[in-house]
Amino acid sequence: MEQLQLEPQITQKEIAIKKNTKLIKFKDDCKRFIATQPIGTISIIFIFIVVVVAILAPLLAPYDPVAQNRQAFLAGPSAQHILGTDDLGRDVFSRIVYGSRISLIVGFASVVFSLIFGILFGVISGYFGGVVDMILQRVMDAILAIPALILALFIAALLGPAIQNVIIALVVVETPRFARIVRGEMLKIREMNYVEASRSVGSSVFRIIWKHGLPNMMAPIIVLSSLAFGQSIIAEASLSFLGIGTPPPKPSWGLMLSGASRYMENAPWLVLFPGLALGLCVLAFNLLGDSLRDFLDPKLSS
């Protein structure tokens, strides 16, 4: 009876030790990242600020982003409108603040769904191989053969201008990239000795993939997710600029740039500030991806 009572206590202690070890390792990795990747650290801080701005948009925006002021058409930056107003008298600062929400929502949703489908197709293709691998990879190759923006443009135009349709178009475009990376990693992992040992003791396919496959391919997935986030933001802006992305009057950065293109000479602030927000946001995610790549695979930085 004493042994039976002690076993759960020992198990709980081991679990607590493992959690504590993982927490310590995570803290050490964070400190090492800050020390070795200053550009990546600055990018994380900037992205965090953008996320906070998007969450607190109703508190930070001084005006309704879609409210028109007929007495302030194309007004320059002033005390009332710190970034000026557009051709309909809408406050540019408020629209940029609310536009960050759309960019982050589209970027997050498209990356998450692309990641889910990419891991699913990549793991199945890489682990099982054979006919399944051939069929899935030919489908991925067919999608990758079409330029990404043209394919996204076609899908978004076919489905109509809406945020959810932009997300669907970007998921179709991004999924093959994740699938190819995951497949390549899975092909290497399935030949490892620890996977063979796991098979020999009767572990199921799901357990092998969950315990050995996914944890050992997280590094390239994290890097690709960061880069894909920035690409999704600029793709949404491109589709909105062409009029088939976020429908007006919602405040999208691409939509703001599209409307501002007619007033570049008379009202340059309409192009400058949304373009600066878009450029800095995409740059931050790209720099973060490069920093994560160097941090997670030091051989690439040598």
What is this structure's pTM? Answer: 0.83
Q: What residue spans define the domains of the chain? A: 28-63+78-301
| 233-290: pLDDT as tens digits | 999 988 888 888 888 888 888 888 888 888 888 888 889 999 999 999 999 999 998 8
Contacts for 181 with CB less than 8 Å, ≥ 6 apart: 118, 122, 217, 220, 221, 224
- Give dist(CA 16, CA 34) in Å, integer: 27
End-to-end Cα spacing for the chain: 58
What is the DSSP code (8-state) at residue 91? B
User: 110 and 174 in contact (C-beta within 8 Å)?
Assistant: yes
Q: Which residues contact 224 (CB under 8 A, 6 or more apart)?
A: 177, 178, 181, 289
> Is the backbone peptide bond immediately before 249 cis, with ω within 30 degrees of 0?
yes
Question: CA 65 to CA 74: how far, in whole Å?
Answer: 15
Lookup: tokens for 256: 């703001």
pLDDT at residue 188 above 80? yes
Task: List, in sequence order, every residue forming a beta bridge with 288; answer none if it has no partner.
Answer: none
Query: Which secondary structure element, helix H or strand E, spans residue 135, and what is its range?
Result: helix 130-144
Quick one: pLDDT at residue 301? Answer: 47
Rounded to whole angstroms, how far apart are CA atoms 47 and 65? 22
What the block records as the tokens of 237 is: 């802006």
Interhelix angle 218-241/253-260, rounded to 10 degrees, is: 30
| pLDDT tens track for 30-76 | 888 888 889 989 999 999 999 999 999 999 999 989 888 888 888 88
Handedness of CA 98, 99, 105, 107 (dihedral sign): negative
The string over 109-128, giving b where at least 16 C-beta atoms fall within 10 Å of a residue's C-beta and e elsewhere, is bbbebbbebbbebbbbbbbe
Residue where the block lists tokens 């953008």: 50
Looking at this protein, which amino acid is placed at residue 180?
A: R
Q: What is the dihedral of CA 39, 41, 43, 47, to 10 degrees?
A: 180
Q: What is the pLDDT of residues 109-152, one digit of tens each?
A: 999 999 999 999 999 988 888 888 899 989 999 999 988 888 99
Task: Say which CATH superfamily domain 28-63+78-301 falls into.
Answer: MetI-like (1.10.3720.10)
Q: DSSP for 206-235, please give it.
A: HHHIIIIITGGGHHHHHHHHHHHHHHHHHH
pLDDT of residue 8: 46
- For residue 84, pLDDT over 90 is answered with no
